[in-house]
Structure 1
Amino acid sequence: MTLGALVDAGVEPGLILSAIASLGLPCELTFETVRRAGFRATHAKVLAPEEQSHRYLRQIEALIEKSTLTPRQRDLSLKIFHRLGEAEAAVHGIDLNRIHFHEVGAVDSIVDIVGAAVGLESLGVERFESSPVPTGVGSVKAAHGLMPLPAPGTAELLKGIPLAESSVRMELTTPTGAAILGTVCERFGPLPAMTIESIGLGAGTKDLPTQANILRLFVGTIELPSGADRVWVLETNLDDLPGEVVGYTTEQLMAAGALDAFVTAIQMKKNRPGVMLSVICEEPRILDLEAIMFRETTTLGIRRYPVSRHKLRRKAVQVETKYGVIRGKLGWIDGRPPAFSPEHDDCARAAATHQVALREVSEAAYEAYKLSATPPDVTTG
């Protein structure tokens, strides 16, 4: 249904078909227009021979690594499969590397996940959100026998995600669908205020008597308030590195263009103290900064997610003090007086030169600013 909705919303089918072909799996993916409860939608159909064996995570990773997917498409595909693997490991109490996938390791599920990753990445959007998730009621027959809905793996994947009430007696959310949603969506709730640009309708296989078996995908834009933009946060937890290495890594990240890099003390598994290394950056810097984090630390994975930020309008200024010229910044919101902040490096240099306390230089800079005329373009916005 995700694949159908993506193509229906405007994703070029050839992009998905080419990516799937590069996996080398014995399958055929087709898209057709159908009707569900009177509504037109796109149905994605995977034709593949029935398989008796199951795949381990490392086998699926190998398929994806040798494909022609772009780095971002591979990264998203692997994140979804790792999320599935972690859920299966938690449910069965088995190490992640020993998990062999049943239904989600079959060809059609691999096609669903990789195709969804390609389609979602090709949309080029900054943020994904979803309504609360209906799971359906009743039971489903799976490799481990008859299980109540939501199935254990699906329930594990939906931790922290709000569920929607549903009386439909069938599985409405599969582990694959839950893994995709849980990996890409940042928020679950009502449709946000947005300008809709396209709508994709992905059809399920069955016709339901009480509702249309359709997944809707809205693509649009959200107007950010004045002074707002979006940046990315990269995070990883560390508990086996000397502090000197962590400090060196933050220096390397800042030198490579991070907007900010910092560490937070955290408590990790088995009561081990550790730190969370966080990096704030613009999207074009993500891969370069992640490469530094992988190179300099022992991390096996990095979380990444976009965030919006509200910034003051800024202007560089300088003031004349008895300790010399001190540079600084003005920050303001339209209609309010600006705030002045002297540059620390200038103040420290002047304090060392004149053998006075750092705070004396900073106070002198503040006083010099108060006595200066406020630039007219700041007060008028």
Structure 2
Amino acid sequence: MALVAYLDCPAGIAGDMCLGALLDLGVPLDYLRQELAKLGIAPEFSLNQETVWRQGQRAIKAHVHLHHAPSDHTPADHTSGHDHACDRHGRHWPEIVQMIQGANLPEPAQTWSLKIFQELAIAEGKVHGIAPEAVHFHEVGAVDALVDIVGTCLGLAWLGVERVYCSVLPTGGGTVRAAHGLLPVPVPAVLQLWQTHRVPVHDNGIAKEMVTPTGAAIAVALAQGFGSPPAMTLKQIGLGAGSQDFAIPNILRIWLGETETADPENVQENLHQETIIELQTQLDDLSPQAISYASERLYQGGAVEVFHQAIAMKKSRLGGLLTVLCPPAAEANCLAILFAETTTLGIRRHAQSRYILDRYLKTVKTPLGPVQIKIAYYQGNVINLQPEYEDCASLARQHQRPWQEIHQLAIAAALDQLSD
């Protein structure tokens, strides 16, 4: 049986909320303190837990107290209470990588931690127009981020979690005070992470910061999918509290459950059949920019594939055939987006049956850093290995090496580890 964790985020997600939920699931506080001390930051913080109530519901609040904080430190008004702390003594990404690699943390906690910080560095770099390795982690608080991120990965590893999934995330609203002044919510780094990974989001009507940069990075780096819970036998639920009071309980819920099969390597039949909806419309009066924007919205609305083909239409006009593939549950969303974002007056619909292979993500170590590999199985055999594009691209940028080289290193590492 494989142990899976589902991040249920009706009130959003932040690093300390993850820690609280994991502590509620039974991860020992002393274990987290002991392992986090290996990072060399023990004199800079203390970690404690407290039982609190949010809208009448009990949850665990994780408290990360910084020692010798700067005098001008102003806590932000958001979910975690410390994600945007202004830390004059923050650290750059390469230094944090060295700290994590030198801490001798248990696997997969080390690999997961590096992956999350990589996502944060890339997102912050894009926001500020600098290289990821030049990112200075004051915007998420260097010590706070280390405790929240590494602590979350340690907790998941201690529980034996093999796969992580996440719900659709709330957008929130309003403003939040950070090191650079007032920022709109969602803050730029969170928006960048959502855009890069095409994370489905929704507005739950609460104009507060509900997803912090640390929380967003944890979700996009670890989750194998966003949406409804995966099929599982539910074993336990951990509740982690945020700092504020909302109209709904400000609680992150981590569902812990078991799936019937541990890994696709042990399954002899990995071919499944499912229904897919194909939506098509022909367009000859819409700009490429509008089609690009509509495609982005369609992916956010649940489409699994969107593509545009050049065609010749009536009166010899050049146009395009816009095709959307989506699961039945996302059909209504995709129809609404097509009518709102394009000039179409009619959409063709076909319900089709398609065969799909089981696939899962595995993180492999290359000489230049970790890369996630998507592995597909059929009848017990590996038939496809595909490194994640963004992982290869980030390492290529970081080390100034060709993308193709990173891609080949990742495949070679995956083949070596699978053969072992």
The two structures have a TM-score, normalised by structure 1, of: 0.62
Q: Counterpart amino acid of 2:33?
A: L
RMSD of aligned residue pairs (Cα, Å): 3.6
Residue number in structure 1 paired with 2:48: 30
Conserved? CA contact 2:233–2:258, under 8 Å: yes
CA distance in 1, matches of 2:32, 2:209: 26
Does the residue aligned with 2:47 lie in a helix, a strand or coil? Answer: strand
1: CA distance between counterparts of 2:268 and 2:207?
47
1:146 pairs with 182, 196, 212, which one? Answer: 182
Match of 1:2 among 10, 13, 18: 18
| C-alpha distance in structure 2 between counterparts of 1:109 and 1:233, whole Å | 24
Q: Distance in 1 between matches of 2:415 and 2:148?
A: 25
Distance 1:273 1:97 in 2: 17
Note if 1:69 corresponds to 2:197. no
**C-alpha deviations, 1:21-50, integer Å up to 9, x for none?**
222221110111111110010110011131
TM-fit CA distance, 1:290:
9.0
> Are the structure 2 counterparts of residues 291 and 32 from structure 1 closer, same or farther at C-alpha, using a change threshold of 3 Å?
farther
- AA aligned to 1:60 is I
Give the whole-Å Cα distance in 2 for the aligned partners of 1:123 and 1:74. 15
Counterpart secondary structure, 1:211: coil
Q: Does structure 2 conserve the Cα–Cα contact (< 8 Å) formed by 1:235 and 1:277?
A: no
Could you tell me how far 1:99 is from its partner in structure 2? 1.3
Contact 1:260 1:279 in 2 (8 A): no
Q: Tell which structure's C-alpha radius of gyration is larger.
A: 1
**Quick one: structure 1 residues 148 and 36, their matched pair in 2 at CA, closer, same or farther if it must change by over 3 Å?**
same
> Per the alignment, do residues 81 and 197 of structure 1 end up closer, same or farther by CA in structure 2, a change over 3 Å counting?
same
Give the residue type in structure 2 aligned to 1:108. D
| 1:284-308: CA deviation from partner (whole Å, max 9, x where unpaired) | x96963999xxxxxxxxxxxxxxxx
* Cα distance between partner residues in 2 of 1:61 and 1:273: 21
In structure 2, the residue matched to 1:99 is 135
Paired with 1:219 and 1:236, the residues of 2 have a C-alpha distance of 27
Q: Does 1:137 align with 2:173?
A: yes
Partners of 1:134 and 1:156 in 2: CA distance: 15
On the 8 A contact 2:170/2:204 being kept in 1, the answer is yes
Counterpart in 2 of 1:13?
29
1:109 corresponds to 2:150 = no
- The answer for the alignment partner of 1:48 in structure 2 is 66
| Kept after mapping to 2: 8 A contact 1:42/1:202 | yes
Residue 199 (structure 2) aligns with = 161
What is the rounded CA distance, in whole Å, between the counterparts of 2:102 and 2:363 in structure 1? 26
Distance in 2 (CA, whole Å) between partners of 1:273 and 1:15 is: 39
Structure 2 CA distance, aligned partners of 1:182 and 1:263?
Answer: 18
Aligned length: 267
The equivalences for 1:1-381 within 5 A come to 1-25=17-41, 26-49=44-67, 50-51=69-70, 52-159=88-195, 160-208=198-246, 210-224=247-261, 227-228=269-270, 233=362, 259=382, 274=404, 276-277=407-408, 289=417
Change (3 A) 1:83 1:231: closer
Take 2:154 and 2:206, find their aligned partners in 1: how far apart are those partners?
30
Taking the aligned partners of 1:18 and 1:287, their CA distance within structure 2 comes to: 35
Partners in 2 of 1:124 and 1:90 — Cα distance? 34
Q: AA paired with 1:220? A: G
Percent of aligned pairs sharing the same letter: 40
Equivalent residues of 1:55, 1:100 under 8 A apart: yes
Amino acid at match of 2:94: R
**How many Å separate the matches in 2 of 1:197 and 1:80?**
27
In 2 relative to 1, CA 261–227 (structure 1 residues): closer, same or farther, beyond 3 Å?
closer
- The residue identity in structure 2 corresponding to 1:166 is N
Alignment-mate amino acid for residue 47 of structure 1? H
Partner AA of 1:212 in structure 2: P
Structure 1 stretches of 5 or more lacking a match? Answer: 238-257, 293-381
Question: 2-side partners of 1:236 and 1:47: how far apart?
Answer: 33
Distance in 2 between the 1:290 and 1:90 partners?
34
Report how far residue 277 of structure 1 moved: 4.1
Deviation at 1:190, TM superposition (A): 1.4
